[in-house]
Amino acid sequence: MKQLTLFFIAGVMVCLIALTPGCKTEPKAVETPIPSVDTKVMMIKHPVKDYNAWKPVYMAHDSVRQSFGISQLSLGRGAEDANMVIIIERVNDMAKAKEFMALPDLKTTMDSAGVSGPPSVAFANVMRNDTTGIPQNDRVMITHKVKDFDAWLKVYDNEGRSVRAENGMLDRALARDADDPNTVYIVFAITDKDKAMARMQSDDLKKTMMDAGVEGVPSFFYYTLDK
């Protein structure tokens, strides 16, 4: 009986070491990405003289935005400069949203609200979005260009949500620029800022980005949601 047991153990060890065809191995777990969506958004970032003075004017202009099929999704303030504003708005029709941004009265309204610099505006198609309620309000938006979006996405998904979570970042949204689909926007909730910033600066992430076909230098914008 002891001899049979030894032969069995030896067989299992050979199976594990040699990975022979008859060996059974556990399949690698495949992570499910955050929920898929199809949402058009307009993202606006600009500085203001005083956030607390700017916000009531912005909110009072909501009825005009709605008349152009625009509704607010999120509003945030820069982590380093609390007077740098980021607004992400859902748009029903990008042509009408661009028409809104070209309104002569809009500049007057922005000036009266204390907008102190030209706005940066981008239109994008959100393809993944996690709206699950979480306690963290700190965010980072990463923007970069890629050679081939599908090739990049495979590397990104292969890295896995759990790896990013271990580094203080929770997947929240993924979008492609409407005018340049190879420009990618990724939003993460930050659970540990030190870990997240270390990850952003790590050689490991740089290599992963290079393998994924990221072109140029990515931009990182840290902000806090105003709820």
pLDDT digits (tens, 9 = 90+) for 103-114: 999 999 999 999
> Please, are residues 42 and 97 in contact by the beta-carbon 8 Å criterion?
yes
Looking at the domain assignment, is residue 4 inside a domain?
no
pLDDT bucket at 193, cuts 50 / 70 / 90? very high
Look at the alpha carbons of 87, 91, 94, 99 in this order and tell me if their dihedral is positive or negative.
negative
How far is the first Cα of the chain from the last one, in angstroms, to the nearest whole number? 69
What's the CATH code of the domain at 193?
3.30.70.100
pLDDT of residue 89 exceeding 60: yes
Strand partners, 142: 186, 220
Residue numbers of the domain that contains 54: 36-225
User: Using CA atoms, how far apart are residues 218 and 110, in angstroms rounded to an integer?
Assistant: 29
The pLDDT score that the predictor gives to residue 39 is: 97
Number of domains in the chain: 1
Q: Which helix (H) or strand (E) holds 123?
A: strand 120-129
For helices 203-212 and 193-200, what crossing angle results, to 10°? 60
Please name the residue ranges forming H helices in 74-169: 94-101, 104-113, 149-159, 161-166
pLDDT digits (tens, 9 = 90+) for 123-159: 999 999 999 999 999 999 999 999 999 999 999 999 9
The pLDDT score that the predictor gives to residue 29 is: 59
pTM reported for the whole predicted model: 0.84
- How large is the average pLDDT for residues 85-109? 96
Looking at the domain assignment, is residue 195 inside a domain?
yes
Q: Which residue has the higher pLDDT, 24 or 62?
A: 62
Looking at the domain assignment, is residue 28 inside a domain?
no
